[in-house]
Amino acid sequence: MASSADPRPWLPGEPALADRPSLAHPNPAGGDYGITLRELTHAGKINLRGGTALQAPATKVTGCASLPTANHFVSAGDRHLVWLGPDEYLLLCEAGAETELKQRLDNLIGTSKAVATDVSDALCALELRGPSIRQTLAKGCSLDLHHSIFTAGHAAQTALAHAGVTIIAHSDDRFWLLCRTSFAAYVQQWLCDAALEYGVHFTN
Amino acid sequence: MSKRPSSQLRRLPKGGRIDRSQIVSFTFDGRTYQGHAGDTLAAALLANDVHLVGRSFKYHRPRGILTAGVDEPNALVRLGRGAHAEPNLRATQIELFDGLYAESQNRIPSLKFDIGAVNSVLSRFFPAGFYYKTFMWPASLWMTYEHVIRHAAGLGKAADDHNDPDRYERTHAHCDVLVAGGGVAGIMAAVSAAESGARVILADEQNEFGGWMLGEAGVEIDGKPAADWVSTMVDKLAQMPHVTLLPRTTVFGYMDHNFLTLTERVTDHMPSRPAHLPRQRLWKVRAKQVILAQGAHERPLVFAGNDLPGVMLSGAVRTYINRYAVVPGQRAVIVTNNDDAYRTALALHDAGAHVIIADLRATAKGPLITAATAAGIEILPGHAVINAVGNLRVGRVEIAPVTADATAISGDIIYRDCDLVAMSGGFSPAVHLHSQARGKLQWDDKKLCFTPSTTHEPSVNIGAGNGSFELATALREAVRAGHQAASLTGHRSSMAAAPAVVMTKQSWQPLAAWKLPNGHAAGKGPKAFVDFQNDVTATDIGMAAREGYQSVEHLKRYTTTGMGTDQGKTSNINALAILAEALGHDIPAVGTTTFRMPYSPANIGAIAGRDIGALFDPFRRTRMDAWHQAAGATFEHVGQWMRAWYYPQPGETMQQAVNREVKAARTTAGLLDASTLGKIDIRGRDAAEFLNRIYTNSWQKLGIGRCRYGLMLKDDGMVMDDGVTTRLGDNHFHMTTTTGGAAAVLDWLEEWLQTEWPELDVTLTSVTEQWAVATLSGPKAAQILQDAGIDIDLSPASFPFMSMQDAHIGGLPVRIFRISFTGELSYEINVAARHGLALWRLLMKHGAAHGLTPYGTEAMHVLRAEKGFIIVGQETDGSVTPLDLGMGWIIAKSKPDFIGKRALARNSMGYEDRKQLVGLLCKDPETVIPEGAHAVLDPSQPLPMDMLGQVTSSYFSPNLGRSIAMGLLKGGQARKGQTVYFPLLDGRVLEATVTDTVFFDPEGERING
């Protein structure tokens, strides 16, 4: 087995936005930042493909009552199931839990027609907090994100400016946004620019 | 002490919607003036008795302010200085702010003395279509003509600094109801819709809502003065959270499916623009229902001298008086074919001006005429202004009695001195947006205007924009439209009654008179302008008709009428009425030109939004990027990825750096960041069968842990992508694709699975970014891995070429593929992406003692070319088959099918003159043949030469000590040993020998180190 004398300074590894400096632009109108932005460092992500064969394994390992309906997500504590398509879901979990969850999923799926793939490093998850999330996202996303339409519990795979993203609404002032890791710096930079008029804080 | 600065000669002592407490200084053409907050630049100039504001486009005639809004053709100015300067803005729309700086346009050197005005003297030689007629011949001189014409013509001058320093942005918005136009009809419709809870956007191009009514006096709505009613309603809307009010916002485009584009001028009106705000914002609105309340534009009358400064539209004069408390003249002559101008006459009279009305109609009657008579205003029924004269400003008019249809002079001419002419030729509904969305128009032969008829969009027109000029009618339409739009979008709405209106009645049926007589024969006499911005006269239109330009679209292009920044808002109907008259047709038979977006000019900056600079397109960077940057790497774009190209050491040229990197990979070891390769996880019981159909070769018998190279074809048999795919388990494969092809390949595979082979049990998941990849290549590769602490046996026996093993290096879990794109002993080491940088550092640390050298994509290209390995997209261009590449060995002919198999069976695939891949060795070993160079057999043949094909890859190979190249040549495989020539653009002719494509280690002896 591994026999390196190296002190492993890299574990648990580099966050996707490790290189991006923190940034703060106060709200020009005074008061709180319109958006506060941070990476959900190393959040676990497992891509699920399959139909009904996923129902039992996915709910069992997450504790969610059922798979989400189209354009929604469901949660149980720190674990979430996000609808991505008619036969595709994304499982989000606490950092570090993905390896064990993937193993359990594989065991529960067995030979049935479903697949779980660890994509924790392929995707970057950002948390957006603050009152100006919807206006900021509207600058780059053509979906109707109005609070009467895209309510808490909604999720959508869409485009934000030139990046593919998945938007998850936890509440009016708390969203998650997932993108491919290589787009994360662009998305972060874009959000900080788009939110300038509301005040924006990115912490790393 | 009066707050009114003495300079504002034409400012009324009271009234208007200006803020008299705020005195604002501004500069026009180098002179400083004062105005008030609430003024437009045009209003403030008129307050200072400045009418001359520009020179015309073609004849450089002096021009003044014609209108009070978006329809202005003349008063175009360049606003701001330096990089902030913006040309061709309408003074009638520019909000005045302290320190505003504006310059007139189209004058050399000054407005009052313009040498370009010589064009006016020579105007007999500048007829319609002048450019087309004059500069047609000889064609070769067009480039010279064009340079002069572009300088002489064109409107204003763009900013000196082409790097726009301002911020812009775009935003998307959705609503139930978009109301375009915030006059009283638009406001009423918005209130009517919003009261049901519908999400409403109300947009208006002006700084204040209220439209025409802000310039009207003596009108009451719901028992209040109109302006008070407006502010009550706007306050009400502002209280509603589901309503978005957008003042200073022009709806300029109306596309299919109720998608509309708006420009909001966010900070243009501010003396200093806050850094956090965009200067302008483009709104992309998707509306369920659209209510168009665009209002109407007044038409000029076409008479000689109608373009002099001081000749204005009647409604504009009234707006300046009532809204801005500015009287544009003291001695006014009004010429009209309708009742509305009498309101202007009364407003002028009340403001203390002397007024004469020349009414084309002999027998006009009604309360407004009665009121004017009672006020003692001199009315000349059945009279026309036939000529206006003056130098830089109107000073006198000639008035004559005319026949009942106003086509001929019927009596003696009267002369009147004046400093203002207010003209009204009736009103044209602004049907632009309706028409942009391909809505139809109909001609109303009583109101003499085109009004909207059917449309296929869920939209409705109301108010003056619908030809419903009567205020009470407009409000009734608005209430109904708002109610219906709310109901149609699923809101419970009850229709309220329209508010009561008090307004003097008037007729909205003008006399059909367009071009007024001048007493001269056709084509003679002083100029009477139809299109002010493009200097098109009634004579030009007549001439165009005689020359055969009978379609209104041809007329527009030939005479340029209706072109330019105003797109003929004041001129279009007059032009086509005059054309109809010349052709002897009626107006609806002539029709209108096509209305296209933008309604009024939209700023390109706003359309670009924040898609500029670093945000123009994403830069994708790998997880080892920080190391490459610190090492001073030069990067190249590969799709959106930024890949390390080469790592120059101090003082090294690119060629020197690449040579060093290429040498190292063959003598010691090299390390490449290969993270960007596409990676697809393929699983399911039918995974092997799926690969069998996708690739040309056979996959069923690939052992677990073994790798195989595959070529993927399009269904036309042409090479689409390539890569190595590895069997991780019975039903589990790891596919790699090219960097640039990754997304397209995944889409391609998904499409086949979902549309053609849904019966296959296969799922695909992109794992491109889950893994960071370091490729370690060279004779020392195994030694370096051992030093770095790998926990598996690397001997070729236990870890053979084209196999995969899971392992740990320095504690990091890795997946190692023993595959090679260099021909050397090579390991592609995959690690969870978060550990990519750590893996790279670890390998560099332990490789240092062995001369490990990082190499970039350029060295990678050279290394693979030395081995004759292709790059899809470089050796292939979508027209190249595996056979063309000399890769027939990869086609499993025994397979029942694979994508492209049938296409490869076509006769043409076997033609001997197909372009085939060959090696090329330049006669001069130091010369690298340029990529893309074309080969010929005989360089002395006459042009055009018979081309054999082209060079696809070409490098200097330090390992061979000479240049090498590959190329696609017609019948190339049979040409080995032949000499071909490459005539270059610089005159050189290179000579090369056709060879095999493998230049280095043809026996493949180095693969095990």
Using DSSP, state whether B134 is helix, strand or coil. Answer: helix
What residue in A sits closest to B281 (Cα-Cα)?
A139
**List of residues 6+ apart from B140 with CB closer than 8 A:** none
Dihedrals φ, ψ of B537, to 5°? -100, 170
**Cβ atoms B476, B498 nearer than 8 A:** yes
- Taking contacts as CB-CB distances below 8 angstroms, the residues of chain A near B620 are 180, 182-183, 186
**Contact check, Cβ <8 Å, A9/B838:** yes
- Sequence-distant (6+) residues with CB within 8 A of B959 are B662, B663, B666, B866, B1000
pLDDT tens by residue, B382-400: 999 999 999 999 999 999 9
Among A39, A115, A136, which would you mutate to test the B interface (most chain B Cβ atoms within 10 Å of its Cβ)? Answer: A115
Q: Do B171 and A183 touch (CB under 8 A)?
A: no
The Cα–Cα gap between B375 and B138 comes to 64
The amino acid that residue B477 corresponds to is E
Contact B661, B856 (CB under 8 A): yes
The Cα of A186 is separated from the nearest Cα of chain B by a number of Å equal to 6
CA–CA min distance A197, chain B (Å) = 5
For chain B, list residues with pLDDT below 70: 1-6, 108-109, 115-154
pLDDT of residue B647: 98
Report the run of H or E that residue B992 belongs to, with start and end.
strand B989-995
Could B789 and A6 be called an inter-chain contact, meaning their C-beta atoms sit closer than 8 Å? Answer: yes
State the DSSP H helix or E strand holding residue B981, giving kind and residue range, or none if neither: strand B979-983
| A14 neighbourhood in chain B, CB within 8 Å | 623, 834-838
Q: Which helix (H) or strand (E) holds B175?
A: strand B168-180
| Mutation target vs B (from A3, A10, A98, A119; most B CBs, 10 A cutoff) | A10
- What single-letter DSSP state applies at residue B559? H
Query: Å from A66 to nearest chain B CA?
Result: 22
Alpha-carbon B774 to chain mean position:
42
CB contact under 8 A, A138 and B173: yes
How confident is the model at residue B157, as a pLDDT? Answer: 82
- What residues in A contact B284, CB-CB < 8 Å? 142
Our CA-based measurement puts residue B768 at a distance from the nearest CA of chain A, in whole angstroms, of 7
From B240's Cα to the closest Cα of chain A, the distance in A is 15
pLDDT tens per residue, range A168-189 = 999 999 999 999 999 999 999 9
How many pairs of residues across A and B have Cβ atoms under 8 Å apart?
146
Q: Find, among B632, B672, B635, the residue nearest to B648 by Cα.
A: B632
Subunit contact B621:A185, Cβ cutoff 8 A: yes
Both tokens of B952, joined, read 């696809």
Q: Tell me the angle at which helices B184-194 and B226-238 cross, rounded to the nearest 10 degrees.
A: 40
3-state SS class at B164: coil
Contacts A28 to B, Cβ<8 Å: 274, 276-277
CB contact under 8 A, A113 and B761: yes
Residue B252 vs residues A84, B156, B207, B295: alpha-carbon distances, Å: 36, 21, 16, 14
DSSP string, B748-769: HHHHIIIII-TTS--EEEE-TT
Q: Which two structure tokens, joined as six digits, stand for B108?
A: 């050399």
pLDDT reported for residue B980: 98
**Nearest chain B residue (CA) to A27:** B276
Residue B978: other Cβ atoms inside 10 A: 17
Please report where in the chains the tokens 């014409």 appear, as a residue.
B149
Give the pLDDT score at B137: 58
Asked if B174 lies within 8 A of A144 by C-beta distance, the reply is yes
Residues of chain A positioned with their CB less than 8 A from the CB of B810 = 2, 4, 6, 8
Q: Return the pLDDT at A2.
A: 37
Residue of B nearest to A117 (CA): B765
| List of chain A residues with pLDDT < 50 | 1-10
User: Per the structure block, which two tokens stand in for B274?
Assistant: 């806050």
Specify whether the CB–CB gap between B727 and B803 falls below 8 A: no
Query: What is the rounded CA–CA span in Å between residue B642 and residue B708?
Result: 28
Classify B615 in phi/psi space as left (phi over 0), alpha (psi -120 to 50) or beta.
alpha
The predicted complex's ipTM stands at 0.94
8 Å CB contact of A182 and B641 = yes
Distance from the Cα of B277 to chain A's closest Cα (Å) equals: 6
- Contacting residues of B for A180, CB less than 8 Å apart: 620, 769
Residues of A within 8 A of B639 (CB-CB) are none
Nearest to B170 among A4, A18, A139 (CB): A139
Residue contact B789–A196, C-beta within 8 A: no
* Alpha carbon distance B599, B441 (integer Å): 17
Contact of B357 with B378, CB cutoff 8 Å: yes
Dist. CA A45–CA A94, nearest whole Å: 9
- CB environment B51-70: b (16+ within 10 A), e (fewer): bbbbbbbbbbbbbbbbbbbb
Residue B856 half-sphere exposure, CB side, CA atoms within 13 Å?
A: 27
- Name the residue facing B832 among A4, A28, A121 (closest C-beta): A121
CB B392 within 8 A of CB B62: yes
Sheet holding A88-93, edge to edge: A73-76, A79-85, A88-93, A44-50, A114-118
Alpha carbon of A140: minimum distance to chain B alpha carbons (Å): 7
Enumerate the β-bridge partners of residue B170: B282
Which residues lie closer than 8 Å to A148 by C-beta, 6 or more apart?
Answer: B199
A42 contacts on B by Cβ (under 8 Å): 834
Mutation target to probe the B interface, by most B beta carbons within 10 A, among A6, A88, A141 is A6
For the record, the structure tokens of A55 come out as 């129902």
Report the chain B residue with the minimal C-alpha distance to residue A163: B618
Q: Do A197 and B276 touch (CB under 8 A)?
A: yes
Range list of β-strands (E), B71-136: 76-79, 86-90, 100-104
pTM over 0.90: yes
Least Cα separation, residue B234 to chain A (angstroms): 23
Contact B610 A194 (CB under 8 A): yes
Indicate yes or no: CB of A194 within 8 angstroms of CB of B611.
no
User: If 0-12 CB within 10 Å is exposed, 13-18 middle and 19+ buried, where does residue B82 land?
Assistant: exposed
Beta bridge partners of B381: B359
Query: Do the bridges between strand B934-935 and strand B915-922 make them parallel or antiparallel, or are there none, so unpaired?
Result: unpaired
Dist. CA B884–CA B882, nearest whole Å: 5
Alpha-carbon distance A192 to nearest alpha carbon in chain B (angstroms): 11
* Residue range B217-247, pLDDT digits in tens: 999 999 999 999 999 999 999 999 999 999 9
Query: Between B552-559 and B538-546, two packed helices, what is the crossing angle to 10 degrees?
Result: 120
User: CB distance A193–B610 less than 8 Å?
Assistant: yes
Chain B residues with CB under 8 Å of A113 CB are 684, 761
Residue B842 and residue A6: Cβ atoms within 8 Å? Answer: yes
Q: Is B769's CB within 8 Å of A4's CB? A: no
- Picking from B423, B380, B422, B416, the residue whose alpha carbon sits closest to that of residue B396 is B416
Q: Read off the pLDDT of residues B561-571 as tens digits, 9 standing for 90 and up.
A: 998 888 899 99
Contacts of A15 in chain B (CB under 8 A): 834
Candidates A50, A122, A138; nearest CB to B171: A138
- A12 vs B834: CB contact, 8 Å cut-off? yes
Q: Which of A5, A115, A183 is the closest to B620 by Cβ?
A: A183
**CB nearest to A115's CB, from B765, B810, B832:** B765
Inter-chain CB proximity A14 and B837 less than 8 Å: yes
In this predicted structure, what is the pLDDT of residue B132?
Answer: 62
Q: Are B424 and B430 in contact (CB under 8 A)?
A: no
Q: Report the pLDDT value the prediction gives residue B2, as an integer from 0 to 100.
A: 39
Q: Which residue, B564, B479, B395, is CA-closest to B190? A: B479
Nearest Cα of chain B lies from the Cα of A189 at a distance, in angstroms, of 8
| CB–CB contact A162 B617 (8 Å) | yes
Nearest chain B residue to A20, by CA: B626
Which residue among B619, B791, B838 places its CB closest to the CB of A10?
B838
Alpha carbons B881 and B905: distance in angstroms, whole number: 11
What pLDDT was estimated at residue B149?
55
